[in-house]
Structure 1
């Protein structure tokens, strides 16, 4: 549901303020300037089809701390409002918006068109994928429901799933086997429905071709190559890794090209709409209150969707978000688990193209294996970073001394060092550190 028709009225609305002394004072902290009480009131009126709805009080706070997210601004909203029939209701919402006022971040991300594409995905694609699952009697919720899409402000408004018991898992700990399998089950259904949707609607998803690596821009090179160079500096300090560090140095000029090849379409391979950024911070988990075991997962954040190999999501997720032992030892088994659900969903939806065998699927993924090495070497350090002083988008995307200091600090983390120490010999033996691969 779009709220763009309401934007012209928002400028005349006062900023959020207290309404009555017997309710919590309305508060706004570090939120976009346009996010006013009037904006929220008009959005809720539209969503609930109730033009007499009025907000009683509202609190607005940042949803994530510094260093927790680099792809936009997330704002948590709690509002009490009264409906036209006199009933009072408490609502919990998440507002996701672009980097307001940050010209560098906006210019860097502009070629990726992430905000417009994500809004398109929530409005036009995810509802169709949900309908496909319902077609085969599968009612499992995979995505968050969207309350509003605001094109002028590049914003999305969702129900805050935290109010239903969904929370973000600990990005520093890594996901256990049970939780990883839930994510992979939903990933498999998401991928399968996208393949069927693209087939049924005349290749409608193939225009989504601007993932992290693409043939249009290299604006993220300072982050990916810069992190790889920081990893190389760290590895060069370890006795016995001198030859490995030299190989890594020789890989720098080819690094972005190798990444682009992962996202290129490979003839004969099965393709899907990959989430593109599927890691710990982009899944919300509901845990059992008594046992603490994970019960359910919702996948969020579709800014970097890309039509391409399932390897994009599989390698990104498995090499960024799992407990170390799973990261190191269980990937083949996890891929087989994913594939069983993926292929079954394709068959139930009567997918008309060739479904590979499990062995063929492994072979297809192996051709994209550099992406596993990339995530372990250049992305894992960002995701497990504990350095907060310089942890922001600019530190990732710039090449000045502050940015270099931040990237170097990412590799002082013991778990990041362990990943490099144990997996670099494996990647080297597979030829994934060779410039001529």
Structure 2
């Protein structure tokens, strides 16, 4: 395999040998393929996510006198932001996601089931390579734009397919082993707590920053009695959400995504007419926070992080029933009776319990994804500022941002006060 010309990103994340490996992994024989050129560039001039750096890799190959263009999405451990690298290492995010794709997903993938994630190609040193979803016309929505009904339904369809894989795998293996089998017994070490841990510096800063914002800006600030109750109970309530992410003894558990905010959900659209499109599919990316827990945890997190509060509350029962019916269809297609795994009543009960998980994780994740693009990008690129905001002093940052950005303030206080109203004062 010859590489005749190349143009590569200056950071040199990918070498000639790496490109040969990637192309070979895609099924192109080394003795019949010539790599004519390849380029790699950042996926955006804006910050996409806080855990890594993201690039597009485009490769032009010639095989049997035919020219092809191969497109890849490349996720790498940051080499430009020491604090970002440190946080990713502390959480084990990169290693966890790699093990998900290389070990767990290979086992739970169900032949014939519509895909729910990007196609993983290969792992290189501190680099994960995927088929580029944008080349298949999947796009990332504006993260400040809440989902409407059509987007919610597509996301819930995909979530049901993803969760169904765990149940089908477990039921199949239970029959084979002739004993009850659960994924957690085999992959417990991989399915850890990640960032959502009571002692994790990131989570601690999320909890403290939210309380300090409440003390300074909420509608309860001048009510001494209420503020005393809030301060006394805040840590207990906030931390109690974490136990909801443990494997349940009462409810059926599945491998959950646990990071279902806008940037991790990509949509495909069908064209209705010259000016109108509708979402007809979606897939999830970034599986660094996976855990074995009740599926309602993912459902509630998705609804909290991506819907306006009023729309969520008005349509909650409808969306829960839609998800359950989609899960029923996915399981039924593989001869698994949903009533033997999760009854509708049990699922609805679990969703009510997991509401706190959805609220608290939204309160944590939103502290950064509510930011405007420029501020988010500046924090991501400045190692010292990144470490301060993410791990050391989120309070100052949140308070400064609430004072200067009315949209951020509305989003933040809306979620913080819903926790207070539902779980502290009520």
Pairwise TM-score range, normalised by the shorter structure: 0.7 to 0.9
Q: Does 1:185 align with 2:157?
A: yes
The Cα shift of 1:239 comes to: 6.5
How far apart in 1 are the matches of 2:209 and 2:279?
A: 32
- Whole-Å Cα distance in 2 between the matches of residues 256 and 385 of structure 1? 22
Tell me what 1:155 maps to: 127
Match of 1:336 in 2: 321
Match of 1:4 in 2: none
Aligned-residue offset at 1:100: 3.2
TM-superposed CA distance for 1:405, in Å, is 4.1
Shift of 1:78: 1.7
Query: CA offsets, 1:49-90, max 9 Å, x none?
Result: 42143332222111144443112121111222222x232211
Q: Does the Cα contact within 8 Å between 1:174 and 1:324 map onto a contact in 2? A: no
Gaps of 5+ in 1: 1-12, 20-24
- State the partner residue of 1:42: 21
2:292 aligns to what SS in structure 1?
strand
Using the size of structure 2 for normalisation, the TM-score is 0.82
Q: Is the 8 A contact 1:271 1:307 kept in 2?
A: yes
| Aligned position for 1:7 | none
Residue matched to 1:326: 311
**Counterpart in the other structure of 1:309:** 294
Contact 1:265 1:309 in 2 (8 A): yes
Runs of 4+ in 1 over 6 A off after TM superposition: 237-242
Where does residue 145 of structure 2 map in the other structure?
173
- Per the alignment, residue 376 of structure 2 pairs with 388
Among candidates 224, 229, 249, match of residue 231 of structure 2: 249
Does 2:410 match 1:418? Answer: yes
Secondary structure at the aligned position of 1:307 is classed as strand
Inter-CA distance 169–243: structure 2 relative to 1 (3 Å threshold): farther
Aligned to 2:244, what secondary structure does the other structure show? helix
1:195 to 2:167 alignment: yes
Equivalent positions of 1:108-187 (< 5 A) are 108-131=87-110, 134=112, 139-150=113-124, 153-187=125-159
Relative contact order: is structure 1 or structure 2 higher (C-alpha 8 Å, sep ≥ 6)? 2
Q: CA deviation at 1:94?
A: 0.7
Query: What is the Cα deviation at residue 231 of structure 1?
Result: 3.3
Q: Which moved more, 1:139-148 or 1:227-236?
A: 227-236
Q: Please give the alpha-carbon distance, in whole angstroms, between the structure 1 residues aligned to 2:227 and 2:358.
A: 18
Judge conservation of contact 2:110–2:165 (CA < 8 Å) in 1.
no
Larger helix share, 1 or 2: 2
- CA pair 316-230 structure 1, distance change in 2 beyond 3 A: farther
Shift of 1:189: 1.7
Aligned length: 402
How far off its partner does 1:37 sit? 3.5
Relative distance call for 1:268 and 1:96 in structure 2 (3 A) is same
Q: TM-score, normalised by structure 1?
A: 0.80
Alignment match, 2:383: none
Q: How does 1:396-407 map to 2 (within 5 A)?
A: 396-400=389-393, 403-407=394-398
